[in-house]
Chains A and B, each alone.
Chain A
Amino acid sequence: MNSGIPLQYFLILATIMFFAGVYGFLTRRNLITILMSVELILNSVNINFLAFNRYLYPHKLEGMFFSLFVIAVAASEAAVAIAIIINIYRRFTTINVEDVNEMKF
């Protein structure tokens, strides 16, 4: 299925996705959109792992299992982060990162 497509194309695609996520992480001020940028970054890393696994080490499965575990970590991270965000919203009635600036109350 991947004949005629060099490995570099996958890597460049993942690079663009990664730095789109970095840009969103730096400019967004809403906590949920920051979480979405983190998901973009994790997803681009998964593409890299799988492309390396398929092109350079097709007789092993390391990349596949690593991205499987990355997906599991991303899912649990999203669940905990959204629980925290909803709790913050309940207490401050906003999820703008610049208005949520006290940790002790």
Chain B
Amino acid sequence: MAVNQIMFILFSAMIVIFSILTVTSRKILRAAVYLLFVLVSTSGLYFMLNYQFLAAVQLTLYAGGIVVLIIFSILLTSHISQNFESSGWKKNIFSAIAALIGAILSVITILDYRFSATTEAAKEVNMTLIGKSLLSVNYDGYVLPFEVISILLLAAMVAAIVVAKKGAPKTIGLPK
């Protein structure tokens, strides 16, 4: 067995175990740390697929940004030692049945379908190519989604500040 197959088994076992632990753990901070493990192993899979830039983006943005934001808001809104109450066995069982049926149907479809690979030569993905096609207006350029996503990020930044800032001073209630 080659090294890359062993690495794939390692990463996929980590992803499966920790993603199931993320949604079943009773302690919220532990669930966030399990989510961090899932995201880091996913970035390992991206390295295996030879998308180094995207793996780095995954590490910095997901594992570095979003998980830190989630842990920060957990610490603001709940006690660390607090356990969830179980959400009722009926709800758990029916959700598990729904998820299992969906997973089994998808796996059957995947194993049934004949994927036909192209015979064209693989393109090497380096930073020059990524930057050029991100700013190109040609047929294979992505300048329009790039601009749209920049507007979205600006709007999200403004929205986060407006939503999370404190209200006007009169609602806080200064004593007269």
Q: Do A and B share a complex? A: yes
Q: Which interface class (under 10, 10 to 19, 20 to 34, 35 or more) fits A?
A: 35 or more
Q: Which interface class (under 10, 10 to 19, 20 to 34, 35 or more) fits B?
A: 35 or more
Q: Other CB < 8 Å A-B pairs besides A23-B98, A60-B140, A82-B160, 11 of them?
A: A1-B47, A1-B48, A7-B115, A15-B103, A15-B106, A24-B24, A39-B62, A51-B49, A55-B115, A73-B152, A82-B72
Residue on B with the closest CB to A72? B149
7 of the cross-chain contacts (CB-CB < 8 Å) are A1-B49, A2-B50, A12-B107, A17-B19, A40-B23, A40-B38, A61-B129
The answer to whether A3 and B4 touch (CB under 8 A), given A16-B103, A54-B51, is yes
Query: In the assembly, what is the distance between CA of A63 and CA of B19, in Å?
Result: 23
Instruction: Tell me, yes or no, whether B99 is within 8 Å of chain A by CB.
Output: yes
B99 partner residues in chain A, CB cutoff 8 A: 19-20, 22-23, 26
A20 partner residues in chain B, CB cutoff 8 A: 16, 19-20, 22-23, 99
B102 partner residues in chain A, CB cutoff 8 A: 19, 22
The answer to whether A32 and B74 touch (CB under 8 A), given A22-B99, A26-B95, A27-B92, is yes
Query: In the assembly, what is the distance between CA of A49 and CA of B117, in Å?
Result: 15
Instruction: Tell me, yes or no, whether B137 is within 8 Å of chain A by CB.
Output: no
B122 partner residues in chain A, CB cutoff 8 A: 58-59
B35 touches A32 (CB 8 A): no
The answer to whether A86 and B76 touch (CB under 8 A), given A2-B48, A13-B12, A27-B23, is yes
Instruction: Tell me, yes or no, whether B81 is within 8 Å of chain A by CB.
Output: no
A58 touches B120 (CB 8 A): yes
Closest CB of chain A to B72's CB: distance in Å?
8
A101 partner residues in chain B, CB cutoff 8 A: none
A24 partner residues in chain B, CB cutoff 8 A: 22-24
A68 partner residues in chain B, CB cutoff 8 A: 54, 57
Query: In the assembly, what is the distance between CA of A37 and CA of B54, in Å?
Result: 21
B106 partner residues in chain A, CB cutoff 8 A: 15, 18-19
